[in-house]
Structure 1
Amino acid sequence: MISENQKTLSILIPVFNEERTVHFILEKVVEVNLIGGYKKEIVLVNDASRDNTEGKIQEFINKYPNETISYYKHEINQGKGAAIHTGIKNAKGDLIIVQDADLEYDPNEFNILLKPIIDGFADVVYGSRFIGGKPHRILFFFHSIGNKLLTFLSNASTNLNLTDMETCYKLFDAKILKSLSLRENRFGFEPEVTAKISRIKGIRIYEVGISYYGRTYEEGKKINWKDGFRALYCILKYGFFKGA
Protein backbone atom coordinates (compact mmCIF):
# COMPACT_ATOMS: atom_id res chain seq x y z
CA MET A 1 0.00 0.00 0.00
CA ILE A 2 1.05 3.62 -0.55
CA SER A 3 1.55 5.96 2.40
CA GLU A 4 0.36 9.55 2.17
CA ASN A 5 3.85 11.05 1.91
CA GLN A 6 5.14 8.75 -0.85
CA LYS A 7 5.36 10.03 -4.41
CA THR A 8 3.32 7.92 -6.77
CA LEU A 9 3.26 7.14 -10.48
CA SER A 10 -0.24 6.29 -11.68
CA ILE A 11 -0.05 3.82 -14.57
CA LEU A 12 -3.23 4.02 -16.65
CA ILE A 13 -3.93 0.85 -18.60
CA PRO A 14 -6.88 1.03 -21.03
CA VAL A 15 -7.93 -2.48 -22.05
CA PHE A 16 -10.11 -3.82 -24.85
CA ASN A 17 -10.08 -7.51 -25.83
CA GLU A 18 -6.53 -8.19 -24.61
CA GLU A 19 -6.99 -11.56 -22.92
CA ARG A 20 -3.85 -12.90 -24.64
CA THR A 21 -1.48 -10.21 -23.37
CA VAL A 22 -2.93 -8.24 -20.45
CA HIS A 23 -1.60 -10.59 -17.75
CA PHE A 24 1.91 -10.45 -19.26
CA ILE A 25 2.01 -6.66 -19.30
CA LEU A 26 0.62 -6.47 -15.75
CA GLU A 27 3.35 -8.80 -14.52
CA LYS A 28 5.94 -6.55 -16.17
CA VAL A 29 4.45 -3.48 -14.49
CA VAL A 30 4.56 -5.14 -11.06
CA GLU A 31 8.21 -6.13 -11.54
CA VAL A 32 9.44 -2.61 -12.32
CA ASN A 33 11.37 -0.83 -9.56
CA LEU A 34 10.86 2.89 -10.03
CA ILE A 35 13.62 5.42 -9.38
CA GLY A 36 13.30 8.50 -7.20
CA GLY A 37 11.36 6.74 -4.45
CA TYR A 38 8.21 6.56 -6.59
CA LYS A 39 5.59 3.93 -5.88
CA LYS A 40 3.12 2.53 -8.40
CA GLU A 41 -0.64 2.87 -8.65
CA ILE A 42 -2.12 0.65 -11.37
CA VAL A 43 -5.38 2.00 -12.81
CA LEU A 44 -7.08 -0.52 -15.12
CA VAL A 45 -9.98 0.53 -17.33
CA ASN A 46 -11.78 -2.25 -19.21
CA ASP A 47 -13.53 -0.67 -22.19
CA ALA A 48 -16.31 -3.29 -22.44
CA SER A 49 -14.10 -6.17 -23.60
CA ARG A 50 -15.96 -9.08 -25.15
CA ASP A 51 -13.36 -11.77 -24.43
CA ASN A 52 -11.91 -13.01 -21.12
CA THR A 53 -9.93 -9.84 -20.41
CA GLU A 54 -11.86 -9.23 -17.19
CA GLY A 55 -11.13 -12.74 -15.96
CA LYS A 56 -7.41 -12.25 -16.56
CA ILE A 57 -7.50 -8.93 -14.71
CA GLN A 58 -9.31 -10.45 -11.73
CA GLU A 59 -6.73 -13.25 -11.58
CA PHE A 60 -3.99 -10.63 -11.47
CA ILE A 61 -5.72 -8.58 -8.75
CA ASN A 62 -6.19 -11.71 -6.64
CA LYS A 63 -2.55 -12.68 -7.14
CA TYR A 64 -1.23 -9.32 -5.90
CA PRO A 65 -3.40 -8.23 -2.96
CA ASN A 66 -0.68 -5.88 -1.68
CA GLU A 67 -0.37 -3.91 -4.90
CA THR A 68 -2.27 -0.64 -5.29
CA ILE A 69 -4.71 -1.50 -8.08
CA SER A 70 -7.94 0.19 -9.16
CA TYR A 71 -10.27 -1.44 -11.67
CA TYR A 72 -13.00 0.29 -13.67
CA LYS A 73 -15.25 -1.09 -16.39
CA HIS A 74 -17.23 0.57 -19.16
CA GLU A 75 -20.49 -1.22 -19.89
CA ILE A 76 -20.42 0.05 -23.49
CA ASN A 77 -17.29 0.29 -25.62
CA GLN A 78 -16.34 3.97 -25.89
CA GLY A 79 -12.76 3.95 -27.21
CA LYS A 80 -9.22 4.17 -25.89
CA GLY A 81 -9.45 7.92 -25.25
CA ALA A 82 -12.59 7.47 -23.15
CA ALA A 83 -10.85 4.76 -21.12
CA ILE A 84 -7.92 7.11 -20.55
CA HIS A 85 -10.34 9.84 -19.43
CA THR A 86 -11.77 7.45 -16.82
CA GLY A 87 -8.25 6.62 -15.69
CA ILE A 88 -7.20 10.26 -15.42
CA LYS A 89 -10.28 11.11 -13.39
CA ASN A 90 -9.61 8.34 -10.88
CA ALA A 91 -5.81 8.41 -10.72
CA LYS A 92 -4.39 9.53 -7.38
CA GLY A 93 -0.70 9.73 -8.24
CA ASP A 94 1.63 12.72 -8.56
CA LEU A 95 2.54 11.63 -12.10
CA ILE A 96 0.50 9.81 -14.76
CA ILE A 97 1.61 7.61 -17.64
CA VAL A 98 -0.44 5.58 -20.13
CA GLN A 99 0.51 1.92 -20.70
CA ASP A 100 -1.11 -0.06 -23.50
CA ALA A 101 -2.27 -3.56 -22.52
CA ASP A 102 -0.46 -5.22 -25.41
CA LEU A 103 3.29 -5.89 -25.45
CA GLU A 104 4.38 -3.07 -27.77
CA TYR A 105 5.89 -0.90 -25.02
CA ASP A 106 8.21 -2.03 -22.22
CA PRO A 107 7.34 -0.91 -18.66
CA ASN A 108 11.00 -1.34 -17.72
CA GLU A 109 11.53 1.96 -19.54
CA PHE A 110 9.30 3.98 -17.19
CA ASN A 111 12.48 5.11 -15.47
CA ILE A 112 13.85 6.59 -18.72
CA LEU A 113 10.82 8.88 -18.81
CA LEU A 114 10.89 9.57 -15.08
CA LYS A 115 14.46 10.86 -14.99
CA PRO A 116 13.93 14.31 -16.60
CA ILE A 117 11.09 14.97 -14.16
CA ILE A 118 12.98 13.70 -11.10
CA ASP A 119 15.99 15.81 -12.14
CA GLY A 120 13.75 18.88 -12.20
CA PHE A 121 13.87 19.61 -15.92
CA ALA A 122 10.46 18.49 -17.21
CA ASP A 123 6.72 18.63 -16.57
CA VAL A 124 5.86 16.28 -19.45
CA VAL A 125 8.03 13.61 -21.08
CA TYR A 126 7.30 11.87 -24.40
CA GLY A 127 8.85 8.50 -25.19
CA SER A 128 9.94 8.54 -28.83
CA ARG A 129 10.19 5.33 -30.82
CA PHE A 130 12.40 7.07 -33.38
CA ILE A 131 15.37 8.36 -31.37
CA GLY A 132 17.93 6.90 -29.00
CA GLY A 133 18.94 3.73 -30.83
CA LYS A 134 16.48 1.47 -28.97
CA PRO A 135 15.08 -1.78 -30.47
CA HIS A 136 12.30 -1.08 -32.96
CA ARG A 137 10.36 -3.78 -34.75
CA ILE A 138 10.20 -3.31 -38.52
CA LEU A 139 6.58 -3.41 -39.71
CA PHE A 140 4.44 -1.11 -41.88
CA PHE A 141 5.97 1.44 -44.26
CA PHE A 142 2.81 3.50 -44.72
CA HIS A 143 2.17 3.53 -40.96
CA SER A 144 5.60 5.09 -40.44
CA ILE A 145 4.97 7.66 -43.18
CA GLY A 146 1.57 8.48 -41.66
CA ASN A 147 3.07 8.81 -38.20
CA LYS A 148 5.78 11.17 -39.43
CA LEU A 149 3.23 13.24 -41.35
CA LEU A 150 0.93 13.55 -38.35
CA THR A 151 3.86 14.47 -36.10
CA PHE A 152 5.02 17.07 -38.63
CA LEU A 153 1.56 18.66 -38.87
CA SER A 154 1.13 18.54 -35.10
CA ASN A 155 4.48 20.28 -34.65
CA ALA A 156 3.52 22.90 -37.24
CA SER A 157 0.36 23.68 -35.26
CA THR A 158 2.00 23.68 -31.81
CA ASN A 159 5.51 24.97 -32.58
CA LEU A 160 7.00 21.92 -30.87
CA ASN A 161 9.76 19.75 -32.36
CA LEU A 162 8.63 16.29 -31.29
CA THR A 163 9.72 13.24 -33.27
CA ASP A 164 6.82 10.98 -32.17
CA MET A 165 3.57 12.73 -31.28
CA GLU A 166 1.58 9.49 -31.60
CA THR A 167 3.59 7.57 -28.99
CA CYS A 168 1.68 5.82 -26.21
CA TYR A 169 4.31 6.70 -23.61
CA LYS A 170 3.55 10.20 -22.40
CA LEU A 171 4.39 10.98 -18.77
CA PHE A 172 2.57 13.93 -17.21
CA ASP A 173 2.55 15.91 -14.03
CA ALA A 174 -0.88 14.80 -12.79
CA LYS A 175 -2.04 18.30 -11.90
CA ILE A 176 -1.33 19.50 -15.43
CA LEU A 177 -3.08 16.56 -17.09
CA LYS A 178 -6.12 16.79 -14.81
CA SER A 179 -6.44 20.52 -15.58
CA LEU A 180 -7.09 19.84 -19.27
CA SER A 181 -10.56 19.50 -20.77
CA LEU A 182 -10.10 16.42 -22.98
CA ARG A 183 -12.85 15.38 -25.39
CA GLU A 184 -11.52 12.75 -27.81
CA ASN A 185 -12.76 9.23 -27.09
CA ARG A 186 -10.57 7.22 -29.48
CA PHE A 187 -7.03 7.62 -30.78
CA GLY A 188 -7.55 11.36 -31.18
CA PHE A 189 -6.37 11.62 -27.58
CA GLU A 190 -2.73 11.88 -28.73
CA PRO A 191 -2.96 15.00 -30.94
CA GLU A 192 -5.54 16.62 -28.66
CA VAL A 193 -3.49 16.31 -25.47
CA THR A 194 -0.36 17.40 -27.34
CA ALA A 195 -2.06 20.52 -28.68
CA LYS A 196 -3.52 21.44 -25.31
CA ILE A 197 -0.36 21.00 -23.24
CA SER A 198 1.59 23.02 -25.82
CA ARG A 199 -0.55 26.05 -24.99
CA ILE A 200 0.26 26.00 -21.26
CA LYS A 201 2.54 28.92 -20.47
CA GLY A 202 5.97 27.82 -19.29
CA ILE A 203 5.34 24.09 -19.87
CA ARG A 204 8.55 22.05 -20.04
CA ILE A 205 8.26 19.16 -22.50
CA TYR A 206 11.06 16.64 -22.99
CA GLU A 207 11.48 13.64 -25.25
CA VAL A 208 13.50 10.46 -24.62
CA GLY A 209 14.20 7.39 -26.74
CA ILE A 210 12.25 4.20 -26.02
CA SER A 211 11.95 0.72 -27.51
CA TYR A 212 9.00 -0.40 -29.64
CA TYR A 213 7.88 -4.01 -30.07
CA GLY A 214 5.06 -3.42 -32.56
CA ARG A 215 2.51 -6.04 -33.52
CA THR A 216 0.62 -6.91 -36.70
CA TYR A 217 -3.15 -6.85 -37.17
CA GLU A 218 -3.12 -10.64 -36.89
CA GLU A 219 -1.49 -10.20 -33.49
CA GLY A 220 -4.21 -7.78 -32.37
CA LYS A 221 -3.24 -4.29 -33.53
CA LYS A 222 -6.35 -2.06 -33.57
CA ILE A 223 -5.48 1.36 -34.98
CA ASN A 224 -6.46 1.82 -38.66
CA TRP A 225 -6.66 4.40 -41.45
CA LYS A 226 -9.86 5.88 -40.04
CA ASP A 227 -8.00 6.73 -36.84
CA GLY A 228 -5.34 8.42 -38.96
CA PHE A 229 -7.95 10.70 -40.52
CA ARG A 230 -9.39 11.42 -37.07
CA ALA A 231 -5.93 12.35 -35.84
CA LEU A 232 -5.58 14.75 -38.77
CA TYR A 233 -8.95 16.29 -37.91
CA CYS A 234 -7.84 16.68 -34.28
CA ILE A 235 -4.61 18.40 -35.33
CA LEU A 236 -6.66 20.89 -37.33
CA LYS A 237 -9.29 21.38 -34.62
CA TYR A 238 -7.15 21.52 -31.47
CA GLY A 239 -3.88 22.62 -33.03
CA PHE A 240 -4.30 25.04 -35.92
CA PHE A 241 -7.75 26.28 -34.87
CA LYS A 242 -7.09 25.94 -31.12
CA GLY A 243 -10.43 24.32 -30.35
CA ALA A 244 -11.49 23.84 -26.75
Structure 2
Amino acid sequence: MKLSILMPVYNEVATLGSAVGRVLAVDFPVDVELVVVDDGSTDGTRELYRAWAGDPRVRVHLQPVNGGKGSAIRKGAELATGDYLIMCDADLEYAPEEIPALLAPVLAGDATVVYGTRTFGSHNAFSYVYVLGNRLVTTAANVLFNCYISDLETCFKLLPTALYRSLDVRSAGFGMEAEITGKILRAGIRPYEVPISYKARSREAGKKLTWRDGVEALWILTRERRRRPIPVP
Protein backbone atom coordinates (compact mmCIF):
# COMPACT_ATOMS: atom_id res chain seq x y z
CA MET A 1 0.00 0.00 0.00
CA LYS A 2 1.12 3.53 -0.77
CA LEU A 3 -0.28 6.70 0.81
CA SER A 4 -0.38 10.09 -0.91
CA ILE A 5 -0.39 13.01 1.53
CA LEU A 6 -1.92 16.04 -0.17
CA MET A 7 -0.78 19.39 1.22
CA PRO A 8 -2.55 22.50 -0.15
CA VAL A 9 -0.50 25.64 0.47
CA TYR A 10 -1.41 29.30 0.24
CA ASN A 11 0.85 31.93 1.84
CA GLU A 12 2.25 29.68 4.57
CA VAL A 13 5.86 30.90 4.63
CA ALA A 14 5.91 30.83 8.45
CA THR A 15 4.83 27.19 8.86
CA LEU A 16 5.52 25.30 5.62
CA GLY A 17 9.08 24.27 6.52
CA SER A 18 7.98 22.76 9.83
CA ALA A 19 4.93 21.11 8.28
CA VAL A 20 6.90 19.37 5.53
CA GLY A 21 9.69 18.43 7.93
CA ARG A 22 7.26 16.85 10.38
CA VAL A 23 5.51 14.85 7.64
CA LEU A 24 8.82 13.48 6.34
CA ALA A 25 9.97 12.60 9.85
CA VAL A 26 6.99 10.33 10.58
CA ASP A 27 7.66 6.59 10.65
CA PHE A 28 4.82 5.44 8.40
CA PRO A 29 3.88 1.75 8.15
CA VAL A 30 3.46 2.14 4.37
CA ASP A 31 5.21 3.88 1.48
CA VAL A 32 4.30 7.57 1.25
CA GLU A 33 4.58 10.53 -1.06
CA LEU A 34 3.95 14.16 -0.18
CA VAL A 35 2.15 16.05 -2.93
CA VAL A 36 2.40 19.79 -2.26
CA VAL A 37 0.11 22.04 -4.31
CA ASP A 38 0.99 25.72 -3.96
CA ASP A 39 -2.21 27.61 -4.67
CA GLY A 40 -0.73 30.88 -5.92
CA SER A 41 1.30 31.94 -2.87
CA THR A 42 2.69 35.49 -2.97
CA ASP A 43 4.34 35.83 0.47
CA GLY A 44 7.67 34.14 -0.29
CA THR A 45 6.43 30.58 0.29
CA ARG A 46 7.57 29.52 -3.18
CA GLU A 47 11.18 30.27 -2.30
CA LEU A 48 11.11 27.38 0.17
CA TYR A 49 10.46 24.53 -2.25
CA ARG A 50 14.04 24.24 -3.49
CA ALA A 51 14.93 22.77 -0.08
CA TRP A 52 13.14 19.52 -1.01
CA ALA A 53 14.10 19.40 -4.67
CA GLY A 54 16.24 16.30 -4.16
CA ASP A 55 13.80 14.34 -2.00
CA PRO A 56 12.01 11.66 -4.06
CA ARG A 57 9.16 11.61 -1.53
CA VAL A 58 8.17 15.22 -2.27
CA ARG A 59 6.38 16.47 -5.37
CA VAL A 60 5.52 20.14 -5.81
CA HIS A 61 2.99 21.63 -8.18
CA LEU A 62 2.65 25.41 -8.57
CA GLN A 63 -0.82 26.72 -9.41
CA PRO A 64 -0.63 29.96 -11.45
CA VAL A 65 -3.36 31.69 -9.41
CA ASN A 66 -5.20 31.12 -6.15
CA GLY A 67 -8.20 28.89 -6.76
CA GLY A 68 -9.08 27.76 -3.25
CA LYS A 69 -8.41 24.70 -1.10
CA GLY A 70 -10.80 22.51 -3.05
CA SER A 71 -9.09 23.21 -6.36
CA ALA A 72 -5.67 22.56 -4.83
CA ILE A 73 -6.80 19.21 -3.40
CA ARG A 74 -8.39 18.29 -6.71
CA LYS A 75 -5.07 18.89 -8.48
CA GLY A 76 -3.19 16.98 -5.81
CA ALA A 77 -5.51 14.00 -6.25
CA GLU A 78 -4.88 14.07 -9.99
CA LEU A 79 -1.13 13.88 -9.36
CA ALA A 80 -1.31 11.30 -6.58
CA THR A 81 0.13 7.84 -7.24
CA GLY A 82 -0.86 6.28 -3.93
CA ASP A 83 -3.62 3.73 -3.28
CA TYR A 84 -4.96 5.97 -0.51
CA LEU A 85 -4.81 9.70 0.07
CA ILE A 86 -5.19 12.05 3.01
CA MET A 87 -5.29 15.85 3.24
CA CYS A 88 -2.79 17.55 5.55
CA ASP A 89 -2.77 21.35 5.76
CA ALA A 90 0.49 23.29 6.04
CA ASP A 91 -0.67 25.49 8.94
CA LEU A 92 0.28 23.02 11.72
CA GLU A 93 -3.25 22.88 13.15
CA TYR A 94 -3.10 19.12 12.67
CA ALA A 95 -0.28 16.82 13.76
CA PRO A 96 1.20 14.72 10.90
CA GLU A 97 2.47 12.31 13.54
CA GLU A 98 -1.12 11.13 14.05
CA ILE A 99 -1.69 10.02 10.44
CA PRO A 100 -0.52 6.43 11.17
CA ALA A 101 -3.40 6.16 13.68
CA LEU A 102 -5.83 6.78 10.82
CA LEU A 103 -4.06 4.16 8.71
CA ALA A 104 -4.38 1.49 11.40
CA PRO A 105 -8.08 0.56 10.86
CA VAL A 106 -7.52 0.44 7.09
CA LEU A 107 -4.51 -1.85 7.41
CA ALA A 108 -6.48 -4.02 9.84
CA GLY A 109 -9.30 -4.36 7.32
CA ASP A 110 -11.81 -2.59 9.56
CA ALA A 111 -12.44 0.52 7.47
CA THR A 112 -12.31 2.04 4.00
CA VAL A 113 -12.74 5.71 4.90
CA VAL A 114 -11.31 7.16 8.12
CA TYR A 115 -11.87 10.62 9.63
CA GLY A 116 -9.72 12.20 12.32
CA THR A 117 -12.17 13.58 14.89
CA ARG A 118 -11.01 16.70 16.72
CA THR A 119 -11.58 17.62 20.34
CA PHE A 120 -12.33 21.27 21.02
CA GLY A 121 -10.80 22.52 24.28
CA SER A 122 -10.39 25.91 25.91
CA HIS A 123 -6.62 25.92 25.32
CA ASN A 124 -7.08 26.52 21.59
CA ALA A 125 -7.50 29.77 19.66
CA PHE A 126 -10.95 29.19 18.18
CA SER A 127 -14.05 31.08 19.23
CA TYR A 128 -17.35 29.72 20.51
CA VAL A 129 -18.96 30.74 17.22
CA TYR A 130 -16.42 28.64 15.29
CA VAL A 131 -17.09 25.54 17.40
CA LEU A 132 -20.86 26.11 17.25
CA GLY A 133 -20.71 26.46 13.46
CA ASN A 134 -18.78 23.21 13.11
CA ARG A 135 -21.31 21.39 15.29
CA LEU A 136 -24.22 22.88 13.36
CA VAL A 137 -22.85 21.72 10.01
CA THR A 138 -22.03 18.26 11.37
CA THR A 139 -25.50 17.93 12.95
CA ALA A 140 -27.09 18.93 9.64
CA ALA A 141 -25.21 16.10 7.90
CA ASN A 142 -26.35 13.62 10.55
CA VAL A 143 -29.99 14.65 10.20
CA LEU A 144 -29.98 14.78 6.41
CA PHE A 145 -28.28 11.40 5.95
CA ASN A 146 -29.62 9.66 9.09
CA CYS A 147 -26.16 8.82 10.38
CA TYR A 148 -23.77 9.85 13.12
CA ILE A 149 -20.40 11.46 12.52
CA SER A 150 -18.61 13.74 14.95
CA ASP A 151 -16.59 16.17 12.85
CA LEU A 152 -17.52 16.86 9.23
CA GLU A 153 -15.05 19.71 8.74
CA THR A 154 -11.93 17.83 9.83
CA CYS A 155 -9.01 18.10 7.42
CA PHE A 156 -7.85 14.54 8.17
CA LYS A 157 -9.94 12.49 5.76
CA LEU A 158 -8.29 9.23 4.65
CA LEU A 159 -9.86 7.38 1.72
CA PRO A 160 -8.95 5.37 -1.38
CA THR A 161 -7.62 7.54 -4.18
CA ALA A 162 -9.96 5.89 -6.68
CA LEU A 163 -12.93 6.66 -4.44
CA TYR A 164 -11.97 10.30 -4.09
CA ARG A 165 -11.60 10.70 -7.83
CA SER A 166 -14.98 9.05 -8.41
CA LEU A 167 -16.65 11.62 -6.14
CA ASP A 168 -15.72 14.34 -8.65
CA VAL A 169 -15.50 17.06 -5.98
CA ARG A 170 -16.07 20.44 -7.63
CA SER A 171 -16.15 22.89 -4.73
CA ALA A 172 -13.17 25.20 -5.15
CA GLY A 173 -12.96 26.50 -1.59
CA PHE A 174 -13.57 25.11 1.89
CA GLY A 175 -16.92 23.75 0.71
CA MET A 176 -14.99 20.72 -0.50
CA GLU A 177 -15.09 19.32 3.06
CA ALA A 178 -18.91 19.24 3.03
CA GLU A 179 -19.02 17.96 -0.53
CA ILE A 180 -16.68 15.06 0.21
CA THR A 181 -18.69 14.06 3.27
CA GLY A 182 -22.07 14.51 1.58
CA LYS A 183 -21.02 12.35 -1.35
CA ILE A 184 -19.47 9.67 0.85
CA LEU A 185 -22.63 9.47 2.96
CA ARG A 186 -24.79 9.45 -0.19
CA ALA A 187 -22.77 6.46 -1.39
CA GLY A 188 -23.72 4.62 1.79
CA ILE A 189 -20.23 4.81 3.32
CA ARG A 190 -19.94 5.67 7.00
CA PRO A 191 -16.50 7.02 7.97
CA TYR A 192 -14.59 5.26 10.73
CA GLU A 193 -13.57 7.90 13.28
CA VAL A 194 -10.27 8.16 15.13
CA PRO A 195 -9.69 10.84 17.79
CA ILE A 196 -6.93 13.35 16.99
CA SER A 197 -5.47 16.46 18.56
CA TYR A 198 -6.07 19.92 17.12
CA LYS A 199 -4.23 23.19 17.60
CA ALA A 200 -6.34 25.93 16.08
CA ARG A 201 -4.72 29.19 15.10
CA SER A 202 -6.29 32.61 15.44
CA ARG A 203 -7.57 34.87 12.67
CA GLU A 204 -4.52 37.08 13.25
CA ALA A 205 -2.23 34.09 12.73
CA GLY A 206 -3.77 33.31 9.36
CA LYS A 207 -7.01 31.40 9.96
CA LYS A 208 -8.95 31.61 6.68
CA LEU A 209 -12.28 29.89 7.44
CA THR A 210 -15.28 32.26 7.89
CA TRP A 211 -19.01 32.03 8.66
CA ARG A 212 -19.71 32.17 4.93
CA ASP A 213 -18.00 28.80 4.55
CA GLY A 214 -20.45 27.36 7.09
CA VAL A 215 -23.43 28.65 5.13
CA GLU A 216 -21.97 27.19 1.94
CA ALA A 217 -21.46 23.84 3.67
CA LEU A 218 -25.13 23.67 4.69
CA TRP A 219 -26.21 24.41 1.12
CA ILE A 220 -23.86 21.76 -0.29
CA LEU A 221 -25.10 19.09 2.15
CA THR A 222 -28.72 19.84 1.25
CA ARG A 223 -27.89 19.66 -2.44
CA GLU A 224 -26.09 16.34 -2.11
CA ARG A 225 -28.90 14.79 -0.07
CA ARG A 226 -31.36 15.46 -2.90
CA ARG A 227 -29.24 13.72 -5.51
CA ARG A 228 -29.19 10.05 -6.46
CA PRO A 229 -26.92 7.57 -4.62
CA ILE A 230 -23.34 7.32 -5.85
CA PRO A 231 -22.04 3.96 -7.10
CA VAL A 232 -18.87 3.01 -5.22
CA PRO A 233 -15.92 1.94 -7.43
TM-score by length of 2: 0.93
Which of 36, 42, 45 is the matching residue for 1:44?
Answer: 36
Q: Counterpart in 2 of 1:23? A: 17
Does the alignment pair 1:211 with 2:200? no
| Pairing of 1:77-116 with structure 2 (within 5 A) | 77-116=66-105
| Pairing of 1:134-145 with structure 2 (within 5 A) | 137=124, 139-145=126-132
Q: Counterpart in 2 of 1:120? A: 109
Structure 2 counterpart SS, 1:172: strand
Q: Counterpart in 1 of 2:216? A: 230
User: Alpha carbon RMSD of aligned pairs, Å?
Assistant: 1.8
Q: Distance in 2 between matches of 1:232 and 1:163?
A: 16
Total equivalences in the alignment: 229
Shift of 1:130: 2.8
The one-letter code of the counterpart of 1:182 is V
Which stretch shifts more, 220-229 or 205-214?
220-229
Shift of 1:216: 0.2
Structure 2 residue runs of 5 or longer lacking an equivalent are: none
Structure 1 counterpart SS, 2:169: coil
Q: Distance in 2 between matches of 1:166 and 1:136?
A: 20
Q: Distance in 2 between matches of 1:158 and 1:24?
A: 38
1:182-238: per-residue Cα shift (whole Å, max 9, x none)?
11000010110111111225x352001000011001111111111111112111112
The one-letter code of the counterpart of 1:111 is P
Which of 37, 48, 58 is the matching residue for 1:56?
Answer: 48
Q: Counterpart in 1 of 2:65? A: 76
Q: Which runs of 4+ in 1 moved over 4 A?
A: none
User: For the Cα contact (< 8 Å) 1:150–1:231, is it kept in 2?
Assistant: yes
Does the alignment pair 1:11 with 2:11? no
User: For the Cα contact (< 8 Å) 1:130–1:163, is it kept in 2?
Assistant: no
Q: Distance in 1 between matches of 2:207 and 2:50?
A: 23
Shift of 1:135: 9.9
The one-letter code of the counterpart of 1:217 is R
The one-letter code of the counterpart of 1:209 is P
The one-letter code of the counterpart of 2:213 is D
TM-score by length of 1: 0.89
Q: Distance in 1 between matches of 2:194 and 2:130?
A: 21
Q: Counterpart in 2 of 1:193? A: 180
Structure 2 counterpart SS, 1:112: helix
1:75-99: per-residue Cα shift (whole Å, max 9, x none)?
1211000000001111010110000
Shift of 1:136: 6.4
